[in-house]
Amino acid sequence: MGSKTRGVSLTWNDLWVTVSTRKSGNKSILQGLTGYARPSELLAVMGPSGCGKSTLLDALAGRLDFSTRQSGEILINGHKQKLSYGTSAYVTQDDTLLATLTVKEAVYYSAQLQLPDSMKKSEKKQIAEQTIKEMGLQDAMNTRIGGYGTKGISGGEKRRLSVCMEILTRPKLLFLDEPTSGLDSAASYYVMSGISRQREGRTIIASIHQPSAEVFNLFHNLCLLSSGRTVYFGPASAAIEFFARNGFPCPHLQNPSDHFLKTINKDFDEDIEQGSAGGQPTEEVIDLLINSYKSSEGYHEVQNQVAEICHQGGEMLQKRSHANFTTQSLVLTRRSSVNMSRDPGYYWMRFAVYVGIALSLGSIYYNVGSNYRSVEERGLMVAFVVSFMTFMTVGGFPSFVEDMKVFQRENLNGHYGCFAFVIGNTLSSIPYVLLISLIPGVIAYFLAGFQNGFGHFIYFALVLFTSMMVVESLMMNVAAIVPNFLMGIVTGAGIQGLQILSGGYFQLPSELPKAIWKYPLYYMSFHKYAYQGMFKNEFEGLKFTDDMFGKNHIMSGEDILRDRWQAEMGYSKWVDLVILVGILILYRLVFFLIIKTKEKVVHARKASTSILSNRSTQIMAKSLPASPLHGLTSSHDIPHQQ
């Protein structure tokens, strides 16, 4: 190695990750792991399911969640450094992609979001195209990604697309969590060889379940884990010899990775009553291999390598710049708008149902007239429009959840910030919500013969539009907190149910129980302002004949508003609309705060990882260079469980 490392060398020493569970107390997921990853090399992390592969990757990438505690040291080029934007990329197990976009669109949008504004649009396009080719996706460029119910690109192509979008900024460190899961051996090979071709100058760490022999040959180093402990770390090619030396030679014509995993998989010991090694329980086999590894030359070599990398140091990673806030907001608005127009579940289904409902409302309340009965009919129709037509926004929830998943992945990987997402999401939804409120609104309003005058209709449409936007924002808030379809729909429906009940229509304001229902729910419910605004819009200035008391008994709209609907007459309908707009802004602000808080929590986690590493660096600096190997002292902040 040269005097200063070019690229990223990652080292970890005595790395522990522990979780506290109610049932079993502290559980160590990773137990004192030591290893390294170097530039232009591909490190494979292998082991049976649940051995801690994803946890190791998460710990190295600073993505562990707060339920875990971590100790030990993780250094980048021998320094404590934060993995900032553009220096590393993480491809998760699941492909969270916008199903409606084509491969080309997905990569182009991603390039525009991630690459700096100093680059011309044509340059960004060129990089996108080149990366698509590098990942062998040129034949699928114009195919939609696809998702539930819509067939799109294959699973292998999705995996390659996920990688493609993460390497646009040419990150020096790439984490891949099971890039081949769910793929057949041919697809796995294409994915892994595509990744392997990207390794020049780049450090790649991939967790992988069961690679074929061909895929296995692509690995430089292998980290084999069992229950969070290292069974083997070293050159992949030397692993066969390590197993053979310990009495577990790989049978002729058997895939080495199959052999390793079979030998150390204890999950099915009870079913087969014996371990795989000729009757020896697998637990014993694993202990034997772990002890053998710890006393082997290979282990000392790993420690030497770690110490040497730390001693050599290397460049401090520079944060890359990405597109500025305005560009990101515009690109996100455009991308989200394309997605909304192509996803039938987002608005089109609702639009069709709203038109059907508007026609039904129009025929049921056709030409309501101006007798006393029409007072009730106008009230009922307003209540139905404000309550039900806004309530149906819950139908778009699955699409909101998909949006949130894509945002969370991209935000975690540093593609763009929370505010740009909120702006993009809000701006893109406005034309669609306008459409689905305006057209059904026109149909219902004019068929029912509501109050004449363009201004009255515009007010009706504005209240409907703002109310729908409020419910959209409410459901986005729910999607940010409860990212589960069923639970989210139930939560959103429950919140709206409460707001409808306390809005002053289904029980008049004077009759609402004072505690909780009147104070504060009545005043918090957006329905209150929507009902009252629409009532004022509909009744003010009209006269109604009361048939029961004869044709001469006339009631003014103002009397009806005051006595029948108990509307607050001290302020105009425009104030109700302004309050609705205020609630909309408040909900969007809350949405921003929720996702921003989540982002901050993740960053705080990263920062706490850095602090741990820092402490360890200082300890290590004291002990180096006298004995690079034995100077590696870790800082534990948790009691280790052996």
Ligand X SMILES: Nc1ncnc2c1ncn2[C@@H]1O[C@H](COP(=O)(O)OP(=O)(O)OP(=O)(O)O)[C@@H](O)[C@H]1O
Shortest distance (Å) from residue 176 CB to ligand X = 12
Q: Which is nearer to ligand X, 33 or 37 (CB)?
A: 33
Q: Which of 6, 41, 68, 438 binds ligand X (CB under 6 A)?
A: 68
Q: Contact at 8 Å (CB) between 86 and 322?
A: yes
Q: Whole-number minimum distance, CB 28 to ligand X, in Å?
A: 9
Using CA atoms, how far residue 217 sits from 46, 57, 193, 452, 472, in Å, is 14, 21, 10, 78, 51
Closer residue to ligand X, CB minimum distance, 50 or 345? 50
- Tokens representing 113? 């979001």
**Alpha carbon distances (Å) from 17 to 77, 302, 325, 639:** 22, 20, 36, 11
Q: Rule CB under 6 A: is residue 69 a binding residue for ligand X?
A: no
d(CA 630, CA 37): 20
CB of 53 to ligand X, least distance (A): 4
Q: How far is the CB of 508 from ligand X (least distance, A)?
A: 50
CA 527 to chain centre: 31
Kindly state whether residue 67 participates in binding ligand X, applying the rule CB under 6 A.
yes
* Between 236 and 261, CB nearer to ligand X: 261
Give the largest CA-CA distance in the chain.
108
**Rounded-to-integer distance, Cα 349 and Cα 118, Å:** 41
Our finding on whether 182 is near ligand X (CB under 6 A) is: no
Q: Which is nearer to ligand X, 63 or 588 (CB)?
A: 63
DSSP at 273 = S
Q: CB-wise, 19 or 364, nearer to ligand X? A: 19
Least distance from C-beta 19 to ligand X, angstroms? 4
We find the least distance from the C-beta atom of residue 355 to ligand X, in angstroms, to be 46
Residues 283/49, Cβ–Cβ less than 8 Å: no
Nearer to ligand X, 219 or 459 (CB): 219
Task: Output the smallest distance, CB 210 to ligand X, in A.
Answer: 10
The angle that helices 155-166 and 121-134 make with each other, rounded to 10 degrees, is: 140
Cα-Cα-Cα-Cα dihedral sign, residues 100, 102, 103, 107: negative
- Residue with smaller CB distance to ligand X, 159 or 322: 159
The residue length of the chain stands at 642
Q: Which is nearer to ligand X, 181 or 296 (CB)?
A: 181
- Contact with ligand X (CB under 6 A): which of 6, 19, 311, 342? 19
Q: How far is C-alpha 220 from the geometric centre of its chain's CA atoms?
A: 32
Q: Give the residues across from 128 on adjacent strands.
A: none
The token duo for 169 is 């900024």
Query: Closest distance between ligand X and the C-beta of residue 50, in Å?
Result: 4
The Cα–Cα gap between 23 and 458 comes to 60
Identity of the amino acid at 623: S
Which CB, 51 or 61, lies closer to ligand X? 51
Both tokens of residue 223?
Answer: 């980290």
Q: Residue 181 Cβ, how far from ligand X at the closest point, in Å?
A: 8
State phi, psi for 76 to the nearest 5 degrees.
Answer: -115, 120
**Count of residues in contact with ligand X, rule CB under 6 A:** 13
Q: Distance between CA atoms of 586 and 329, rounded to whole angstroms?
A: 20
Extract the runs of DSSP E, i.e. beta strands, from 314-369. none
Of 16 and 354, CB closest to ligand X? 16
Least distance to ligand X, CB of residue 221, Å: 18
| Shortest separation between residue 222's beta carbon and ligand X, angstroms | 15
Structure tokens at 562: 């005051």
* Cβ-based nearer residue to ligand X, 59 or 406: 59
Report the residue number, 49 or 552, with the smaller CB distance to ligand X: 49
Q: Which is nearer to ligand X, 3 or 49 (CB)?
A: 49
Site string for ligand X, 21-60 (x = CB under 6 A): x-------x-----------------x-xxxxxxx-----
Residue in 81, 100, 114 with CA at minimum distance from that of residue 5: 81
Residue nearer to ligand X on the CB measure, 23 or 551: 23
Amino acid code (one letter) for 536: K
Report the nearest approach of ligand X to the CB of residue 102 (Å).
30
Q: What is the closest distance, in whole angstroms, from the C-beta atom of residue 92 to ligand X in the complex? A: 11
SS (H, E, C) 483-550: CCHHHHHHHHHHHHHHHHHCCCCCCCHHHCCCEECCEEHHHHCHHHHHHHHHHHHHHCCCEEECHHHC
Structure tokens that stand for 625 in this block: 């260079």
**Considering the complex, what minimum distance in angstroms separates the CB of residue 177 from ligand X?**
7
Torsion sign across C-alpha atoms 496, 147, 162, 255: positive
The least CB distance from residue 40 to ligand X, in Å, is 25
Per CB under 6 A, contacts with ligand X among 394-433 are none
Q: Looking up tokens 């009730």, which residue turns up?
A: 376
**Following DSSP, what letter does each residue of 179-230 receive, concatenated?**
TTTT--HHHHHHHHHHHHHTTTT-EEEEE-S---HHHHTT-SEEEEEETTEE
Cβ nearer to ligand X, comparing 29 with 389: 29
Query: How far apart, in Å, are the Cα atoms of 125 and each of 106, 111, 129, 168, 398?
Result: 12, 7, 6, 11, 31
| Number of neighbouring beta carbons within 10 Å of residue 547 | 11
Residue among 151, 78, 133 nearest 631 (CA): 78
Where does this chain bind ligand X (CB under 6 A)?
Answer: 19, 21, 29, 47, 49-55, 67-68
